[in-house]
Structure 1
Amino acid sequence: MNKVNATMSYLTFLIRGITSVEPAPLSPSGSFPPQRRFTPLRPLRHWLESIKIQDPQLAHRLCQLIPAQCPFERNITVGGRVLFHIPPLCKLNPFYEELVYLRFQALCYLADECGEDISAYC
């Protein structure tokens, strides 16, 4: 049996529902056991998530400090020809998602609560 036939028969086997998936073991309380992972940045991440925007001055400052798009993405060109492309490195920042969410909260506060025009920050 070649690889294509073996793969097709396995997929047919899965689609028909013949295989059974074993559920994860439950604890005596009936819930999944807690996963213990080492997260040294969790306190700072939690602090960033807990910031509430209630001051227009703070909201303006956050919108100015946190860029709308990744500032590191670049095309290096010489003589009109692209030599190489530097990809966005923002995803390497462990707080990237929290900072983007904080900027979004600040923009929403300025637009919804203060009624200000936020087009300058977009």
Structure 2
Amino acid sequence: QNQIGNDGASTIGTALVKCKLLTNLQFYIYANQIRDNGAQNIGLGLSKCTQLTNLDFRIQQNQIGDDGASTIGTALGNCKLLTNLIFYIGANQIGDNGAQNIGLGLSKCTQLRNLELALG
């Protein structure tokens, strides 16, 4: 277990912005100390990865609230080529608004064939 916080997560998000040609991504950053700001920057980076077809995204067991979850949800909506998605974001501090925005983002992933979603 690490202790990655907002600063580390934000830098990772900035790096993701430059990975525009990625088609497959396994992103495991669970059980850390990431809050909304760090999650938002990860989401902004992920939103630039529009060529993704396979995404395994595990960011559970952090301290992410509605704002961070909403940005990640919006980012997922930009990944319109996704066919396989594993998305674990449970054990955070996400309420109705964050969950709704995740749902809205997922609704734009119309090419999805396989989805594994853990919000609890």
TM interval, shorter chain, is: under 0.3
Q: Which has the higher strand share?
A: 2
TM-score, normalisation: structure 2: 0.27
